[in-house]
A and B are shown apart, each in its own frame.
Chain A
Amino acid sequence: MTPFIQNIADSIKPFFSGWLYSNGNLGLTCTVFLIIYVAALLLMVKQARAGGTIPKVRRIAGLDAVDEVVGRATEMGRPVLYSPGIGDLTSADTLASFNVLGHVAKLIAKYDARMIVCNRTPSVQPITESVVRAAYFEVGKPDAYREEDVRFLTNDQFGYAAGVVGIMNREGVAALVLVGLFYAESLIFAEAGNQAGAIQVAATSSTSQTPFFIVACDYCLIGEEIYVAGAYLGQDRVRLATIVVQDWGKQFTLIVIVLGVLAATIGSFTGVKTNVIIDLLKLY
């Protein structure tokens, strides 16, 4: 460690060691970042609620296409198939998927179309049921809700894949909305959907599956766009305001990376083996 930073680290260690986890010397940094990030989030929420200006979110083609996709299925008189992925409730992708499901379910209820929701995780099943049921209630058509259209298939990954593909072909779905955490079954869904002639919108944060969705689906959200989906579709000011905090976080991280790279580069020229930026991040 850089000597003067080592002195700072040694002096603060006794203060924190009794009550804060060190977590590989990143405990303090992560805690401070967490506090600042959450504070910024709540600040933007307060500003949005008070009617302040919030930055605009750029157009996301995949999310704009959701309405088009549902409309097309309605015109063709064929159902939409929705999959919230294979993640459970601890996955942020699944939580994001509920927001999209609510929006799609309202459209389906409004247009008197049909949507089949296929769940892989049993703990997600009751929530997707209530989301879809609530959508029908909100639109004023509670009797139109069909319990058998929100199904738990199986907890087995490829049994789920086979089940979804079977439903796709038997029910002749016109549109596929795949929003959530996906793994190897992503290409099976996308390619089978393509073979069935369905229009497809996909969103996942999984970097290993995004390429398959990009190749085989009509619209695909990349990376953290899935977390924006709920706010974007509902055009809710408060939720849109929190999205800018994500971008601030990325900008801050970018600055730290650039500074760290500069420090490492200067260090390699001057023969200094320590990196000031890394040492500052690893204070405690």
Chain B
Amino acid sequence: MPWYKRLMGIDRRILYIILAIGISFPMFSPMGLPIPADVATQATWDFISNLPAGSNVLYSFDLSASGLTELKPTALVLARRSFELGHNVFIMALWAEGNNLGAIWIDPIAAEYNAVYGVNYIKLGFMVNPQAFLEQSRTDLYGACSGGIDANGDPLSSFPMMKNVTKAKDFDVVMSYNTGDPGPTIWIQQWYATENIPQLSSCTAVSTPTMENYFQAGLLKGNVGGLAGAAYIEKLSGQLGTATGGMDSQSMGHVIIILFLILGNIGYFAARKAGAVK
């Protein structure tokens, strides 16, 4: 078999092994590569940092477990920032998985900053019907939140921090950690377009082009895109974590994929020259 056919027909398992080795190598021997700056991520950090104490910040975990690597670092950094600055932190989810993940990630940070549940930290829970929640909460937040209860089933009216938060407009910003739909699009359509509530987003890398589009149009005030965005926000906060650690692996992965592109095309052009392909 000619060498170019063998090159073009390499068993994919070999490709997977090369990728696996390349990605895992930096985990054992970090390369310490610089983190690229990102305007949208900077805008997110600045927006949260400029909110005064007592601001009502809503973090919506519209994600599944697939967002663990890219979104958890941002969630931890911004939660810490909010508690440091004295914001009132509200967490909720439009995805069922996001409800559990949000609580698992943020509860320890709330405890770390001695946040008092119901005074400066509350979990609104999972909203089964996102469209209904976003529509109804514009005028009646309590009614929209499963009939006026928090994630633990306690009445919202019993919590001090909910006294002045009865509708969407009472929030100063919404941050959506998202891995798909429902996500920032529905928040923008319902809360930004009608109530002008500022929206922020933290998304996986594949959604970053779409979110960058919204950011450029001013529909999002900031976006933390993928692992690179998460690493940059860790750098801005001074708390380097898993995102920073993952950037070396991501770089290796991208370099290997580019090498695959080059190899595949070498085989293709050789085959074309030999008349084996058109």
**B-binding segment of A96-104, A127-135, A154-162, A164-172:** A154-162
- From B64, B206, B210, A156 is in contact (CB under 8 Å) with B64
Q: Does A184 contact B (CB under 8 A)?
A: yes
Complex-state Cα separation, A126 to B64, whole angstroms = 25
Cross-chain contact B194 with A183 (CB below 8 angstroms): no
Cross-chain contact B194 with A24 (CB below 8 angstroms): yes
Cross-chain contact B193 with A156 (CB below 8 angstroms): no
Cross-chain contact A207 with B209 (CB below 8 angstroms): yes
A193-214 with Cβ < 8 A to chain B: 195, 207-209
Q: Does B176 contact A (CB under 8 A)?
A: no
Mask, B191-212, CB within 8 Å of A = 1, is: 0011010000000101101100
Cross-chain contact A23 with B180 (CB below 8 angstroms): no
- From B96, B179, B204, A155 is in contact (CB under 8 Å) with B96
Majority DSSP secondary structure for residues of B touching A: helix
Majority DSSP secondary structure for residues of A touching B: loop
Output the least CB separation between A84 and chain B (Å): 14
Output the least CB separation between A66 and chain B (Å): 25
Output the least CB separation between A159 and chain B (Å): 9
Q: Residues of B contacting A220 with CB < 8 Å?
A: none
Cross-chain contact B96 with A157 (CB below 8 angstroms): no
Q: Residues of B contacting A90 with CB < 8 Å?
A: 131
- From A26, A158, A207, B64 is in contact (CB under 8 Å) with A158
Cross-chain contact B96 with A181 (CB below 8 angstroms): no
Q: Does B181 contact A (CB under 8 A)?
A: yes
Q: Quick one: which of A86, A87, A90 has the most chain B CB within 10 A?
A: A90
- What number of A residues sit within 8 Å (CB to CB) of B? 19
Q: Does A7 contact B (CB under 8 A)?
A: no
CB contact under 8 A between A184 and B180, given known A21-B194, A24-B193: yes
Q: Which residue of B lies closest to A194 (CB)?
A: B12
Complex-state Cα separation, A24 to B96, whole angstroms = 31
Q: Does A91 contact B (CB under 8 A)?
A: yes
Output the least CB separation between A75 and chain B (Å): 26
Cross-chain contact B12 with A183 (CB below 8 angstroms): no
Q: Residues of A contacting B276 with CB < 8 Å?
A: none
Cross-chain contact A184 with B209 (CB below 8 angstroms): no
Q: Residues of A contacting B206 with CB < 8 Å?
A: 183-184, 208-209
Q: Which residue of B lies closest to A90 (CB)?
A: B131
Q: Residues of B contacting A24 with CB < 8 Å?
A: 193-194, 196
Complex-state Cα separation, A19 to B196, whole angstroms = 19
Q: Residues of A contacting B193 with CB < 8 Å?
A: 23-24, 26
Q: Residues of B contacting A207 with CB < 8 Å?
A: 209-210
Q: Does B263 contact A (CB under 8 A)?
A: no
Q: Does B66 contact A (CB under 8 A)?
A: yes
B240-274 with Cβ < 8 A to chain A: none
Q: Does B18 contact A (CB under 8 A)?
A: no
Q: Which residue of A lies closest to B206 (CB)?
A: A208
Q: Does B65 contact A (CB under 8 A)?
A: yes
Q: Residues of A contacting B209 with CB < 8 Å?
A: 207-208
Q: Residues of B contacting A183 with CB < 8 Å?
A: 179-181, 206
Mask, A171-187, CB within 8 Å of B = 1, is: 00000000001011000
Output the least CB separation between B168 and chain A (Å): 14
Q: Which residue of B lies closest to A21 (CB)?
A: B194
Mask, B72-106, CB within 8 Å of A = 1, is: 00000000000000000000000011000000000
Complex-state Cα separation, A158 to B180, whole angstroms = 12
Q: 13 extra interchain contacts, Cβ-Cβ under 8 A, other than A91-B181, A183-B179?
A: A24-B193, A24-B194, A86-B180, A87-B181, A155-B96, A156-B64, A156-B97, A157-B64, A157-B66, A157-B179, A157-B180, A183-B181, A184-B206
Please name 18 pairs of A and B residues whose Cβ atoms are closer than 8 Å in the assembled complex, sorted by A: A21-B194, A23-B193, A24-B196, A26-B193, A90-B131, A156-B97, A157-B64, A157-B66, A157-B179, A157-B180, A158-B64, A181-B181, A183-B180, A183-B181, A184-B66, A207-B210, A208-B206, A209-B206
Interface pairs A-B: 6 shortest CB-CB: A183-B180, A157-B64, A208-B206, A208-B207, A208-B210, A23-B194
